[in-house]
Amino acid sequence: MQYLPRAILLRAEKAKWSLPREALPPLPRGTDTRGLFLLEPGKSSFTHITKVRADFAPGLSKAVEHHIAVTRRQFALVPADVRTVYLSQGETFDTVVLDLLCPPPHGGTHFLVILLRDALASTHR
HSE, side-chain direction, 13 A CA sphere, residue 43: 6
Query: What's this model's pTM, rounded to 2 decimal places?
Result: 0.46
Q: Is residue 11 part of a domain?
A: no
Find the domain containing 67 and state its range: 43-74
Mean pLDDT check: name the lowest of 4-13, 62-71, 103-112: 103-112
Asked if residue 41 has pLDDT above 70, the reply is yes
User: Does 12 fall in a domain?
Assistant: no
Structural domain includes residue 19 = no
How far is 92 from 52, CA to CA, in rounded Å?
Answer: 58
- Whether 89 and 115 share a structural domain: yes
The chain-wide mean pLDDT, for the chain, equals: 75
pLDDT digits (tens, 9 = 90+) for 52-72: 888 878 888 888 888 999 998
Q: Do the Cβ atoms of 56 and 62 come closer than 8 Å?
A: yes
**Terminal C-alpha separation, the chain:** 34
